[in-house]
Structure 1
Amino acid sequence: MKILFDSVMPYADAFFSSIGECKSFESGVLGDIDLAEADVLLTRSTTKVDKQLLLKAEHAKFIGTATAGINHFDVKAIEQHGAHWTSAAGCNARAVAEYVLASLLYLAINDEIELAGKSCAIVGVGEVGRQVASIVNALGMSIVLYDPPRAELESTFTSASFDEVISADFISLHAPLINDGKYPTRHMFNDIVLNKMNANQYLISASRGELIDTNALLARFRLKSKSAASGVSQCTAPQLVMDCWEDEPTISTELMTHCRLATAHIAGHSLEGKARGTSILYDKLCEFLAVDNVLNLRDFLPIYEMPENLMAHIRAFDMDTLSLATLNNIVKCFYDIENDDSFFRQHMAKSDQITPIRKNYPIRREFDAVSVRLQNPVAKQQLSALGFKVL
């Protein structure tokens, strides 16, 4: 059995060499001969699996993506090809939730607002949305859950109305891109919706950039600038945290200038998140082939090298204050969102392409990569709820 996998999938050779003959390929450089010989094709989002590719991969019977999203898969074409397809849904949920937490803390500290008591609408309550809801709840925020398709499938789940969503203080997007049907999500934040929002609200884009109509959003910012210059009442637009952009990998650099935080679609790019994608595909391929899955992700992840200042911040958090500032210091030891924002703006000053940043993104670890020991029961409960491994 010949297994062809994307070279950026961590530990892929170690996982899949126990099953068959492995060969890696560079994203965007997929040879015809390699495709023709592949029984198993494992990709990431940079490889579009469509009719044209499948014509070259005539022997492929198992096609998987080590990502949560499948917008790069022509599912109908794959099924007509007679191949089994799968994804690594949920693999980066923890990393995305930690990105949202870093965003919330940054905004709270810089705008001098208390998060407790503020409302946060979560659009799309799959694995990522559930993880974000857990974090939002741990911060003492009120949660607005919006997912009509899930409400139709699950009698125990009730979706909020969209009016409740667009009246929330914070709105965090975690829905898939759906172009048609009963509940389309493409441009769900269009001119009509954006017109109902204001500058005291925060919109976090961490799922698919096409959920927001970029042109409509830019029109709001342009109108805001024009009204400010004329001295008349300002037309307002929400505060933006943008990780996912419309028309990637080419993005609107004009929109970037209006963002409070801007990053290169890397919210889910933790080492654990990427490696978990590999591990999930390994488990699913083993199931498909009816062989034992004897390997586990924890066998490969390196020991976390704890920053020197992390324990000092942990000790401060173990005191009575439990301030957002101290929590932010802890989070920044794992993920400094301001660094990503700064690097992104420097790069995009010379280009409108985000691919190089994503391809060369440095290793980032998730919160539970290290165990922390606390005495304060309130601190233990809060850090545990935020995803830390607490002893």
Structure 2
Amino acid sequence: MEKLRPCLQGARVLVTDPVDDLLLEALRAVGAQVDYRPGISRGELLALVPRYEALVVRSRTRVDREVLERAGNLLVVARAGVGLDNVDLEAARERKVRVVNAPGAATQSVAELTIALMIAAARRLRESMELASRGVWKKVVGVELYGKTLAVVGFGRIGRRVAEIARAIGMDIIAYDVVDIRGHAEKLGARVAEDLHSALAEADVVTLHVPLTPDTYHLMSWEEFKAMKRGSILVNTSRGAVVDSEALLWALNEGVVATAALDVLEHEPPATEAEKRLAQHPRVILTTHIGASTVEAQRRVAIETVRRLLEALAEARGCSR
């Protein structure tokens, strides 16, 4: 990156969400002028963004068409994380704004949380912990994951890592994706489902690892829950809007889903009546979107994001590497 220093000297970068100090230090090391404003309001962002050539965000800040239209000098948007659903990619393309992210940096951390939530759901840990906190020493009987069938919906980096760990536990893996995953599945000893509903019908546990797109919005809704095996477990560490909260609430109350373990909701914190009821439901384990929130993942995210950001910014400024 030192070779890029002459090109990036004085580049103005706005960072609007909390990031690892490593990212900030790397930007300053090449001479960029960094304005670190985690928690900046929408109004402040719209007022300030015209001054900057690069914008760094995580999940909170929405880089929509309005923001991009205000950002007359913007060359690069960097999402310090995996997904890009909070960036209007079409509007960015129209304005020739490059968009970069760190797709592989959080794989291990999200996979580990997925397995942890799976185990917590199987062993009914929320119920047991709540009893213990009240001084009630009552045994809560769960189930083992060994020998159970896990449907991995979305067989990308994270889905494959989850499948690898689950195989080590002794689970049978069935994988589903809209792209050809036969090669990856064969390497991991997983079976490939012909369609989503057939995977859901066979699984004792369903884990979701798909990006949020128009095609995956409410991917898990009424018909999908009706297709699931009765008494199964649902885990979602991908994007909240992949699951229809009202349909999930119905599935829980009908006993179709025994336990839902969720790291994400469509609105965070819960905003709709269904989401609030899910958060309070005795058979829902809910965490606060912590999939990538480990020291190790955040450092990998910082390293990968800053590398991609600086390369894109140098290219956009017309500098040769």
TM range (shorter): 0.7 to 0.9
CA distance in 2 between counterparts of 1:245 and 1:32 reads 26
In the alignment, structure 1 residue 145 sits paired with structure 2 residue 159: no
Instruction: Answer yes or no: is the 8 Å Cα contact 2:270–2:276 preserved in 1.
Output: no
- Unaligned runs of 5+ residues in structure 1 are 225-234, 294-391
Residues 165-184 of structure 1 correspond to what in structure 2 (within 5 A)? 165-179=200-214, 184=215
CA distance in 2 between counterparts of 1:47 and 1:236 reads 36
Q: CA deviation at 1:104?
A: 2.8
CA distance in 2 between counterparts of 1:207 and 1:45 reads 12
- The count of aligned residue pairs is 275
TM-score, length-scaled by structure 2:
0.78
Which of residues 298, 305, 316 in structure 2 aligns to 1:274? 298
Cross-structure match for 1:121: 151
Instruction: Answer yes or no: is the 8 Å Cα contact 1:28–1:46 preserved in 2.
Output: no
Cross-structure match for 2:193: 160
Residues 257-272 of structure 1 correspond to what in structure 2 (within 5 A)? 257-258=280-281, 259-272=283-296
Residue 283 to residue 112, structure 1, CA distance change in 2 (3 Å)? same
In the alignment, structure 1 residue 21 sits paired with structure 2 residue 33: yes
Helix, strand or coil at the partner of 1:166: helix
In the alignment, structure 1 residue 208 sits paired with structure 2 residue 208: no
Cross-structure match for 2:16: 6
Residues 194-343 of structure 1 correspond to what in structure 2 (within 5 A)? 194-222=225-253, 224=254, 236-251=256-271, 252-258=275-281, 259-288=283-312, 289=314
Residue 249 to residue 104, structure 1, CA distance change in 2 (3 Å)? closer
Q: CA deviation at 1:267?
A: 2.2
Which of residues 121, 124, 131 in structure 1 aligns to 2:161? 131
Instruction: Answer yes or no: is the 8 Å Cα contact 1:166–1:193 preserved in 2.
Output: no
Q: CA deviation at 1:287?
A: 2.6
Helix, strand or coil at the partner of 1:273: helix
Q: CA deviation at 1:146?
A: 1.0
Task: Supply the AA of the counterpart residue of 1:18.
Answer: A
Q: Identify which of structures 1 and 2 has the higher relative contact order when contacts are C-alpha pairs closer than 8 Å and 6+ apart.
A: 2
Residue 218 to residue 113, structure 1, CA distance change in 2 (3 Å)? closer
Residue 177 to residue 238, structure 1, CA distance change in 2 (3 Å)? farther
The RMSD of aligned alpha carbons is: 2.4
Which of residues 217, 222, 229 in structure 2 aligns to 1:191? 222
CA distance in 2 between counterparts of 1:99 and 1:31 reads 32
Helix, strand or coil at the partner of 1:277: helix
Task: Supply the AA of the counterpart residue of 2:193.
Answer: A
- Unaligned runs of 5+ residues in structure 2 are 1-10, 125-140, 186-191
Q: CA deviation at 1:221?
A: 4.1
Helix, strand or coil at the partner of 2:227: coil
Instruction: Answer yes or no: is the 8 Å Cα contact 1:198–1:238 preserved in 2.
Output: no
Task: Supply the AA of the counterpart residue of 1:142.
Answer: D
Q: CA deviation at 1:108?
A: 4.1
Cα deviation code 1:199-241 (max 9, x no counterpart): 521000111122222112223445x3xxxxxxxxxx6434211
Q: CA deviation at 1:173?
A: 0.6
